[in-house]
Structure 1
């Protein structure tokens, strides 16, 4: 089993489904099947953000096996940083990062050194 999976492409409305399938196979093959539900949900939210907010919808996906878990990264060339929803939660969107925060052990955003993009990442750990 490879310690890392990387891909770069333009995502569309159905890309999250295909990426969830790849992530599930990757985690199952690594003996981390118990992390799939949370990791798939968080990945879906990050891909949805690319579809909604990134011009051209291009991104890079990386799944990294870690001791006892996985780190998932979604990088894009859009300098705008994601924001968590505030308020009553009745709006049409903006809850993706709230969901990511709820189902993962850690998450964050790393801005590219040149300021022309970012990587949104999360980690799911077994037994956490």
Structure 2
């Protein structure tokens, strides 16, 4: 999906993702995938000036991969230190906690793709 995201976009996208997970018989991944999607889209809202992105949901043999590509060259950074009362900076820490792996791939012509994967076996 190509999107221009705003403050409430994550909720709409979660409602789109759920039926795919249900159809793929991967509802056990819903919480992790929905939180991951929410965090990646929130980062687009906060850090990408035009708020344009593309979201790709891929069924893998043992799970799901989600990719969010945008035109910003700014790479996400996991904060070295984060306090419990900080208003920002915990999204990637949460992403790492609820997914099996995640990463970022800079695009050769500019921009980046941030992705994560959740495996059925690891969550069962």
Q: TM-score range by the shorter chain?
A: over 0.9
TM-score (norm 2): 0.94
Query: Hey, what does 1:65 align to over in structure 2?
Result: 59
Consecutive aligned runs of 4 or more in structure 1 exceeding 6 Å deviation: none
- Cα deviations across residues 2-44 of structure 1 (Å, max 9, x unaligned)? xxxxx00200111000111111111111110100000100110
Q: Distance in 2 between matches of 1:17 and 1:92?
A: 20
* Correspondence 1:91 to 2:86: yes
Q: Distance in 1 between matches of 2:121 and 2:15?
A: 23
User: What's the counterpart of residue 95 of structure 2?
Assistant: 100
- Distance, in Å, in 1 between the alignment partners of 2:119 and 2:26 is 9
Show structure 2 runs of 5+ residues with no match. Answer: none
Q: Distance in 2 between matches of 1:88 and 1:78?
A: 24
Q: Which residue of 1 aligns with 2:50?
A: 56
Does the alignment pair 1:37 with 2:37? no
Unaligned runs of 5+ in 1: 1-6
Deviation at 1:91, TM superposition (A): 2.3
What do you get for the CA RMSD once the two structures are aligned?
0.9
